[in-house]
Amino acid sequence: MKQKKPTRSTITNKKARFDYDIKTEYLAGIVLNGPETKSLRFSRGSLRGAFVTIKNGEAWLNNLQIMPMNTNAAHLTEDQQTRARKLLLKRRELADIIAAKDQGNAIVPLALLTKGRYIKVRIATAKGKKAYDKRAKIKERDTHRDAKRDLKKYQ
Q: Residue-wise pLDDT tens for the chain (155 aa)? A: 556 655 566 899 988 888 888 999 999 999 998 788 888 888 888 899 899 999 999 999 999 888 887 765 556 566 667 788 999 999 999 999 999 999 999 999 999 998 888 999 999 999 988 887 788 888 999 999 999 998 888 87
How many angstroms separate the CA atoms of 154 and 149, rounded? 9
Give the DSSP H or E segment for 109: strand 106-115
- For residue 69, the SS3 value is coil
- Provide the pLDDT for residue 6: 52
CATH number of 10-129: 2.40.280.10
How many angstroms separate the CA atoms of 42 and 37, rounded? 9
- Provide the pLDDT for residue 19: 87
DSSP 1-15: -PPPPP---EEE-HH
pTM exceeds 0.85 for this model:
no
Q: Where are the domains of the chain?
A: 10-129
What is the CA angle 112-38-35, rounded to 5?
115
Minimal CA–CA distance to 100: which of 132, 122, 123, 129?
Answer: 123
How many angstroms separate the CA atoms of 82 and 106, rounded? 20
